[in-house]
Amino acid sequence: MSGEREFSNTVGDLLASWNLPHATGRTYGLLLLSEQALSLDDIAARLGISKAAVSTAVRQLGSWGLARVLPQPGSRRLLIEATAGIDTLLEASHARARTLVRALGQGRELVPGGPASERLEDVIGLFAAYVDVGEQLLERHRRDG
């Protein structure tokens, strides 16, 4: 297996653990390595997956801000490139975590004290800290990048 395909498979496995389809992660991995924008056909051939799977993957990556489609004037052919926008993915993760923190906070009134209250506060604190640290890292990245 080529290093490119192995890398793409690894990224596919990792993003699948975030509930994204394996083909989406593999497509993203390939786009990250590519010096130039690629067509749907190029991606499908290099990864050995269907053009339909690539099309779906590109739509998902676009919705997360991880890839962009470059229309070609006078042609139906589209080229796709990765963006440097992993921060978009992290921001979405932080938004989900903030929603979870708010939802968990509503449980405070249901447990007046004791082990359940302590456990709930630990979980709330963990997710709140995850968001705080993540946002500090993103801010530093934007400032320094």
| Per-domain boundaries in the chain | 3-82, 86-144
Amino acid identity at 76: R
Other Cβ atoms closer than 10 A to 16 = 15
- Report the half-sphere exposure of 107 (CA within 13 A, side-chain side): 14
Spell out the long-range contacts of 129-132 with Cβ–Cβ below 8 A and sequence spacing 24 or more.
130/94, 130/97, 131/94, 131/97, 131/98, 131/101
pLDDT higher than 90, residue 66: no
Higher-pLDDT residue of 17 and 125 is 125
Alpha helix (H) residue ranges in 1-145: 3-16, 22-33, 40-47, 51-63, 86-105, 115-144
Quote the distance between the C-alpha of residue 131 and its chain's center. 16
State residue 1's pLDDT score.
58
State residue 85's pLDDT score.
66
Assign 46 a pLDDT band (cuts: 50, 70, 90).
very high
pLDDT higher than 70, residue 62: yes
Tokens of 32: 């990250």
pTM across the whole model: 0.67
Let me know: does 102 contact 135? Beta carbons within 8 Å.
no
Q: Measured on CA atoms in the order 133, 137, 139, 140, is the torsion positive or negative?
A: positive
Amino acid identity at 62: G
Fold of 3-82: Arc Repressor Mutant, subunit A (1.10.10)
Q: How far is Cα 13 from Cα 23, in angstroms, rounded to an integer?
A: 9
